[in-house]
């Protein structure tokens, strides 16, 4: 299967909070990778494809959490840790959020 991403993915771990807009559940999760077009995270909540989400990414750069929206495009169980790996496509390319993450990478 060919990778159809438009933006490079960066492996980065930091917390996020999300709101499932279908059931209004607010959850916390751990980002595992991110690009300007999407975010991958691990959480305890299973979600079907097309679930709309509001996301607050706690980028560790001493600024306020970065807010964005998107929808679930895939979900797979991680049975060894009783969690779900979720892939979210963002509603629009988030270049400002990526600039903050890239700035962090340059500081390391």
pLDDT digits 0-9 by tens, 67-87: 999 999 999 999 888 999 999
Question: For residue 18, is it within any domain?
Answer: yes
More confident residue, 7 or 23: 23
State the residue for tokens 């559940």: 25
Distance CA 94, CA 66 (A): 10
Counting residues of the chain whose pLDDT is more than 70, the rounded percentage is 78
In a domain, 2, yes or no: no
pTM value is 0.81
**Domain with 34 in it:** 10-103
Q: How many domains does the chain have?
A: 1
Residue with tokens 């998107």: 70
Does some domain include residue 5?
Answer: no
CATH number at 87 reads 2.40.10.220
pLDDT over threshold 90, residue 5: no
């Amino acid at each position: 299967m060919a990778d159809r991403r438009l933006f490079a993915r960066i492996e980065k771990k930091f917390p996020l909070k999300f709101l499932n807009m279908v059931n209004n559940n607010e959850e916390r999760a751990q980002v595992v990778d991110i690009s300007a077009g999407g975010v991958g995270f691990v959480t305890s909540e299973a979600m079907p494809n097309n679930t709309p989400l509001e996301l607050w990414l706690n980028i560790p750069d001493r600024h306020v959490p970065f807010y964005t929206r998107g929808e679930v495009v895939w979900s797979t169980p991680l049975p060894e840790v009783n969690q779900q790996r979720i892939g979210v496509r963002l509603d629009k390319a988030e270049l400002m959020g990526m600039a903050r993450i890239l700035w962090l990478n340059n500081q390391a």
